[in-house]
Chains A and B, each alone.
Chain A
Amino acid sequence: MTDGEEGRAPDEEEGADECGDGEHEQRTARPPQNPREYVASWSERDALDGSETRAWVLILRTRGCSWARCSMCGYHGEAAASSAEDLLHQFETAILRRRGERIAKVYTSGSFLDEREVPSGLRTRLLSELSRSFERVVVESRPEFVSEPAVREAVAACPGLEIAMGLESASPRVLSHSVRKGFLFSDFESRAATVRRQGGRVRAYLLLKPPFLNEMEALEDTVASAVRAAPLCDTISINPVNIQRGTIVEQLWRRMIYRPPWLWSAAESVLRAHKGVAGVTPRPRIVCAPTAAGRRRGAHNCGRCDETVVAGLESYSLTGSTEALERAFSPGCACIAEWRKALDVGAFPFITYDALIPR
């Protein structure tokens, strides 16, 4: 896994199985979270400067995202009122499990650079420590916290720091009406420039198939967004939407009008984005590691070919070689025909084709 969140894959659970009219969407309340426990930590395959290595991933439990309104994100359910001391405790417990990884990815369920989630003193301290023991450090933040002073301080503490932003899409309509991201491409653009000016690296997360877009629109939007963001990015991570608890996406899925993207779409978007960014210098690395791949709540195909496509995506993400993905397509599984139909019907956006095929 390169960028996927295997520690945070949504739990498998039957959706829309209520009897009767299906009007009752039951939510089970989650138990309160312990502020001294981190959300998750794991080790995953990754690549650094062209060679394969492993990355240590930590999700800190903070007070949560300042925005917390995105249609596909259920991470705000992980928040707790953690103090600076709690966060330090989380970090220190987690780091004990590090096993020689060269890359560190430290995320919160919101923005690492948000003062209210991670106080700046602690932030600098954590970054300095990470910088000492890892060759590459990645943190994530919404653009509004990627300010000149914050970036300057962060990069000073951790030279070569990679700051990831969830751009999701370059399209204003997708950002405001589908993702509800609360910012636009121009915000990302200026903050990415800030990061680069301060000597940091930029990573963009792009969504594949946010709500209300059909399979074809999703594919086209992701590819177009990757190409548009490429000149500003060092890494572009394509994230197929998975069904998280308490989200609009989950509501649609329960109503049987949303199917997570096909893995074929993920593969196709990677192949097309790969070609699309060919002329960009420096050429950004493209990665794609779908969360919950092959499962009901994650990107999936028919079940027979899922592993092959996931392996192709992983191989591409680690090596930059499209060979394994291209091989997956030819001759490919019988379900490719069904996926192509879904794309073709996508030219009629008023037809919710997802509602007519198995989810």
Chain B
Amino acid sequence: MIEVLARDGLAREMKWTAGRISLPTPNILFLRSKGLPHFDRGEGFLSSDGAVEGKFTLFSGGSWFLERSNVASPSVAPSPLATPASAADPSSPVIPPFPNIPAGLEAGPGEAFAASLEGFRSSSGMVLPVTGVYPPDIHGTGAELFVFAGALENSFRPRRFAEELVRLKEAAGYSRLVYAPGLGEPSHLAFLAYCGIDLFDSAPLLAAAGQGHKLLPGWRASSAERGVCHCPACESGGDGPEAVYSHNCYTALSELRLVRSAIRGGRLRELVENRLSDAWLVAALRHLDSRHYEFCERFFPVARQATSGMRALGRASLTRPEIARFQKRVLERYRRPRSAPVLLLLPCSARKPYSSSLSHRTFRGWIDRSGNPGAVHEVVVTSPLGVVPMELESLYPAGSYDVPVSGDWDETEMRILRDQLGRFISAQRYQGVVCHLSGMDFLGEALPPTAFSTGGQRATARASVEEMARTLSELVRGLPKVNRRQANSERFSSLSRFQFGPGGEALAEGCELQRRSNDWRVTDGRRTQLALLQHERGLLSLTMDGARRLLGRTGYEVEIGDFKPSGTVFMPGVLKAGQDIRPGDEVLVTHAGELRGVGVAIMSSSEMECSRKGAAVRMRHHISSKEGGR
């Protein structure tokens, strides 16, 4: 039985229960076999000869090639290694014997292989391999674990690794465990967990020890080197292969705990980027980001706790799925406030949201002096997000990212900014553009020739802001006066469209906004509240009345069975989920086209599609029992 405890992108913290023992994942399975050193601090074991008392044990079903009929011969007893372990408890998970043949190298069709799995289909065996060779009928098997047999081989070929991973995850679905045999170095754990791989083994720790490598997260030391580590194995002073193996195991265990903590805290990507110490990790991450964006992005949340603010510190951060998604949605979903045809480009601020920073409060004051501030559209130009229309400033990741500021831009950042800005300006059709930025001359070609530059040497300098206000007032002079209510309503419409897609505009029709400290309350202009925008969350929270306006218009609906949801909607109750739903999204809960409530998605729609258990939506509002079937 598998239970998801926490999610972060493809990664998850889970609990795997088989028999009476549970195993937390991600985890390392320590090899247990008579001749091998035994590391007894492990939580899970992979055994070829009997269970480890009181610990979670996964069994090796032994060799597919060594048939008993051939091996058994009266004159030579096969070595004990050749005889598969017999699990004491028949409900223990076993990896069935299968030929470890890389994809494309199989000889002929796989009937023999399929036949070898028969026993495992009918029994309670819960484990199944996918090698890429024989895509078996996985869904009829009840298998809870998939063996990613090509993982180690493909770690030498990062592009293939990413492709095979995506193929495997698509075949396995979200809710099966994935085990990558032969992988599990401390430095690799964060990345592998990030890939949605749940189990590893100690073989690489053993092999490294044999070669005299003391493994540390992001580092390899020689076993001869003293004083690099404080683990119990190193403290007791050994440097033989067994002591080094033990050190490697301790290190891997600590790193695993860190990985689980990062998943719980929504900061795994940061840890992954921190651990990019092998070329293949960097390359594989790039391939996932660039070539498999569509697959990965679906699992990344659209909101995170402000405390886990995104750190976009290096080259690898630039292509992170949440950033790429934000950029894509700004270009594809977003539409500027109708009555604000004058674009004002502003620099970002260290403090988020931008509007709370000193510099932006200054800008705001001068914009107001332009005479028609509602006709001015403020857009922040920032790395690595590109462009952030001011009304989206609280949204994740715009509301909580941190980047190193050195004043120097690297080529990739410049390219992203230029590209994003150029496409944004041409899509939104502004009548005038004021570029109030300094030190960003490289944007030049993204700006229309008629653009005014007012940033000067320093955007906050008195002379610069005066110049900005003067330029703005000239540009807005001939435009119709936009009152505050209309300006707010249009900005809210843009935000709603960004969150819910084109159908989201329906929420804003005739609406009115009231500020309450950091939050905005949205009503229909009379007394009825439609939504609330809290800076903390960044997204709009709907009321039932607000949700009714969106019913049938967006990809954010979760169709449930005929019941009245309250508290939490659990998985078996979900019949269908809109394609656009990501963890953290505001969703409408419906049955047969009728609104039953609103809530926050805990899973992505991809996970809802293939999960049979777990909490899917945490309800915010729902129809009362009086409301009945209405």
Using CB atoms and an 8 Å cutoff, list the residues of chain A in contact with chain B: 16, 21-23, 71, 170-174, 176-178, 180, 211-214, 216-217, 219-221, 223-225, 227-228, 248, 251-252, 255-257, 272-273, 275-279, 337-338, 340-341, 343-353, 355-358
Contact = CB atoms under 8 A, between A and B. Distances in A.
Contact of B81 (A170, A212, A338, A343): A343
B482 interface: no
Contact of A350 (B67, B108, B149, B241): B149
5 contacts: A176-B112, A248-B105, A276-B73, A276-B75, A353-B182
Nearest to A335: B210
A275 B75 CA distance: 8
B66 A220 contact: yes
Nearest to A280: B75
Contacts of A351: 152, 181-182, 201, 203
B86 interface: no
B363 interface: no
Contact of A178 (B65, B71, B181, B210): B65
Given A344-B33, A347-B60, A355-B152, 16 more contacts: A177-B99, A178-B65, A212-B99, A217-B82, A219-B79, A272-B76, A340-B35, A345-B206, A348-B48, A348-B201, A350-B147, A353-B182, A353-B207, A355-B153, A355-B156, A356-B182
Interface in B64-97: 64-67, 70-71, 73, 75-76, 78-79, 81-82, 95, 97
Contacts of B241: 337
Interface stretch (B157-165, B288-296, B425-433, B545-553): B157-165
A331 B200 CA distance: 35
B439 interface: no
B153 A349 contact: no
Nearest to B151: A352
Contacts of A178: 65
A272 B82 CA distance: 15
A172 B107 CA distance: 13
Given A255-B102, A345-B206, A358-B211, A227 B73 contact: yes
A222 to B, nearest CB: 11
B49 to A, nearest CB: 8
Contact of B70 (A22, A228, A340, A349): A228
Residue among A216, A225, A255, A349 with max Cβ neighbours from chain B (10 Å): A349
B73 A352 contact: no
Please tell me the size bucket of the interface on B.
35 or more
B446 interface: no
Contacts of B46: 348
Contact of B203 (A257, A338, A345): A345
B75 A356 contact: no
Given A345-B31, A347-B62, A351-B203, A23 B82 contact: no
Contact of B65 (A16, A174, A180, A348): A174
B28 to A, nearest CB: 13
A228 to B, nearest CB: 7
A177 B106 contact: yes
B70 A221 contact: yes
Interface in B198-217: 201, 203-204, 206-208, 210-211
A243 to B, nearest CB: 15
A71 B105 CA distance: 10
Question: What are the 5 closest A-B residue pairs judged by CB atoms, nearest first?
Answer: A347-B48, A356-B207, A344-B35, A276-B76, A351-B181
Nearest to A337: B241
A349 B62 contact: yes
Given A173-B67, A223-B76, A352 B81 contact: no
Contacts of A172: 67
Nearest to A178: B65
Contacts of B156: 16, 22, 255-256, 355
A344 B36 contact: yes
Contacts of A23: 157, 159-160
A214 to B, nearest CB: 8
Contact of B283 (A21, A214, A350, A356): A21
Residue among A180, A279, A348 with max Cβ neighbours from chain B (10 Å): A348
Interface in B165-199: 181-182
B564 to A, nearest CB: 48
Residue among A22, A71, A176, A358 with max Cβ neighbours from chain B (10 Å): A22
A270 to B, nearest CB: 13
Interface in B103-131: 105-108, 112, 129
